[in-house]
Amino acid sequence: MSGASKDMIVDCHTHIHGEVDGERVLRAMDAAGVDRIVLFAMSPLELIAAGVDKGKAHQTSIDQVAGVAAADRDRIIPFAWIEPTLTDAVEAVDYGLGDRHVQGVKMIPQRWYPYDECAQACYMRINTWGAPMAFHSGSLGGTSDTSRFCRPVYWEVLLKYPRIRFSMAHLGWPWVDEGFAVMIEFRTTAERLRDREWQSYADTANEPPQAYRLQKLPSGIAIVGDTHFLYGSDSKSVEDPEALRSYIRWERRTLEELGLSQESIAGIMGKNALTWLGID
């Protein structure tokens, strides 16, 4: 597929849901015109609930996503899902990024705060690897009463871990303005210290509601700039080309409705992701 072409599509937010075959994923990507996807492993807690031994949940999750990505590791970019409340979380970081060569880490704060010691122990190890991260931020969509753990401001703690480029998913909905403020804080820190990268990104995956996106995203781009916003579908149907295609159509239509330039749209749909992922 294309390298850094104008029309490149990088979907920065997809999930394994059940059994997934890497070759079928590639065929779906080809049919939908997707160059690369970032594929998140299954949650270790979900696997435990399904009967996987607690001590093997991280390894099982990481092995699965690494196996899917083996079909083409340049195009299917695997992220380990790390659950910091499990006792083997730090070891799982090394297993994923080291032994299985996954390329990043996914986390959802559920009943832990992003600044908790167990989470920071994982960040410390991820920082040594210099790997990108993706966090769920904002509402958990009514699945539990744990959205309070996911406010964007809590990721200020990552100022202590300057080698981690992190993305806040869903624009932090409903704390969208707070998410923009956090992005500006990290940008200002990078400008002031000069030896740092601008660490903070945000993906557009399927929230907030469309009326709110149309209202807030232009403000975010105006005050933050357009280089640190990422396209994400949040798709759990990575073997389905029509599902991938429909997300792309919807996102392009939204960005065009906002009156963004083609250069800005190309950045959000693909080019910006290369910087976040550390891909030359």
Q: 1 lies in a domain?
A: no
| Residue for token pair 């959802």 | 108
User: Which CATH number does the domain housing residue 23 bear?
Assistant: 3.20.20.140
Residues contacting 3, CB < 8 A, separation 6+: none
User: Does residue 260 contact residue 251 with C-beta atoms inside 8 Å?
Assistant: no
What backbone phi and psi angles, to 5 degrees, belong to 14?
A: -135, 160
Residue span of the structural domain in which 252 resides: 10-277
Q: 167 lies in a domain?
A: yes
Cis amide leading into 162 (omega within 30): no
Q: In which element (H, E) is residue 135 found?
A: strand 133-135
Q: Count CB-CB contacts under 10 A for residue 209.
A: 11
Q: What secondary structure letter does DSSP report for 165?
A: -
- 82-92 per-position pLDDT tens digit: 999 999 999 99
Q: 3 lies in a domain?
A: no
Q: 4 lies in a domain?
A: no
- 219-265 per-position pLDDT tens digit: 999 999 999 999 999 999 999 999 999 999 999 999 999 999 999 99
Answer whether residue 4 shows pLDDT above 70: no
**Mean predicted lDDT score pLDDT of the chain:** 94
Residue 250 CA to residue 163 CA, distance in Å, equals 33
Q: 155 lies in a domain?
A: yes
Q: 146 lies in a domain?
A: yes
pLDDT of residue 1: 43
User: Can you tell me the mean pLDDT for 76-83?
Assistant: 98
> What is the domain count for the chain?
1
186 closest CA partner among 222, 224, 216: 224
- Tally of residues, the chain: 280
Q: 123 lies in a domain?
A: yes
User: Can you tell me the mean pLDDT for 55-80?
Assistant: 98
Q: What secondary structure letter does DSSP report for 269?
A: I
Which pTM value belongs to this model?
Answer: 0.95
| Per-residue confidence band for 142, with pLDDT thresholds at 50, 70 and 90 | low
Residues contacting 237, CB < 8 A, separation 6+: 17, 243, 244
**β-strand pairing of 133-135 with 10-15:** unpaired
Residues contacting 280, CB < 8 A, separation 6+: 274
Amino acid at site 199: Q
